[in-house]
Amino acid sequence: MNRQPLVAVTGHHLPAGRVQGWSVGALALPRGYTDALCRAGANAVLLPPVALDTEHTAAGVLAPFDGLVLSGGGDVDPRRYGEEPQPELAGVDSVLDEFELGLVDAALDRGVPILAICRGQQLLNVALGGTLDQHIAGRPGLLVHGDEGHGPGGGVPHDVRIEEGSKLAIALGTTRCSGWSHHHQAVKDLAPKAIATAWSGDGLVEGFELPDGWVVAVQWHPEVTAASDPVQQRLFDAFVAAC
C-alpha cells in the first residue's frame, strides 16, 4: 500500500500574549493550508522555525519529507537582497528567513517539490537571486492587493491571468482564476532561473516556476478559498501528486 506523502509546512513565531491566555510564545499557521493538503491526500507537518547550525541542518530537517510548502507571513529582510529597509517593513523574522532559505536549498538539492505561497513566493524569489518591491500598497496604477498583507485576516479577491502550458496552468486546469490577495510586497526583479507564469491586471507577477522539477510559486492565497473553489484546491492536489 502506498503511504500518504509527508509534507512540511513552515510555521511562524507568535510573541507571548498573542494567543489569549498564553503567557508564552506560540507557533502558528492558518489551518487553510493543512486542510487543503489533507483534502489532497497528504499528511501535513508544521515546522517550527529554528536556528540552523552544523548539528541542526536544513537538509536534516527536510530529510523525512516528500514536499515543502513555504507559507505566507511577514516580510523578508531586504538586506537579504541588498536593500535597506523601508519604513513600511513589518513582521521580519531573521530566524525564519534563514530557516526557509536553508530549506529551499535543501529541497532544490534533493528535487523535493515546492509550493510557495505569498511570502513564500517572495522568499523563494530572494533565495534564487531575485529582489522585492518593499511596499506597493496605495501606489497609483496598481490594484488593491490587500490591507497591508500582514497576518491571516483581511485581503481581497482579484483576477489572475496564467500562462498557458505552464505547470501552474496545468495544475489549476485554467488560464484564468480569481485569487485571494493579501500582501503589500511583490516581486520586483524576477530571479534569473525563474519563469513568470501569472500576472494580475496591473502587471504584477502573481506566479512563477522553475523549468526543472515541480517548483511553483503564487502570490495569492489559494488556501483561503480552496474549500469552496475547486480551481484553488487543484493546486494543492497537483502539488501532492508531485510529492
pLDDT tens-digit readout, 155-191: 888 999 999 999 999 999 999 999 999 899 999 999 9
Please check whether residue 183 is in contact with residue 155, taking contact to mean a CB–CB distance below 8 angstroms.
Answer: no
Are 161 and 196 in contact by the 8 Å Cβ rule? The answer is no
Q: Which three cell numbers stand for residue 64?
A: 523525512
Active-site annotation, residues: 118, 221, 223
- State the pLDDT confidence band at 152, using cuts at 50, 70 and 90: very low
Mean pLDDT of 14-39: 89
Q: Which pLDDT band holds residue 153 (cuts at 50, 70, 90)?
A: low
Class of the CATH-defined domain 6-242: alpha beta
pLDDT in tens, 198-226: 999 989 999 999 999 999 999 999 999 99
Write out pLDDT tens, residues 108-147.
Answer: 999 999 999 999 999 999 999 999 999 988 888 888 887 6
Domain ranges of the chain: 6-242
Q: For cell 501532492, name the residue.
A: 240
**What H or E segment, with its residue span, contains residue 13?**
strand 12-14
- List own/partner pairs for 98-102 with CB under 8 A and 24 or more apart: 98/51, 98/52, 99/10, 99/47, 99/49, 99/50, 99/51, 99/52, 99/58, 100/10, 100/49, 100/70, 100/127, 101/126, 101/127, 102/52, 102/57, 102/58, 102/61
DSSP 3-state assignment of 120?
helix
pLDDT given for residue 149 in this prediction: 42
Residue pair 103/61 in contact (Cβ under 8 Å)? The answer is yes
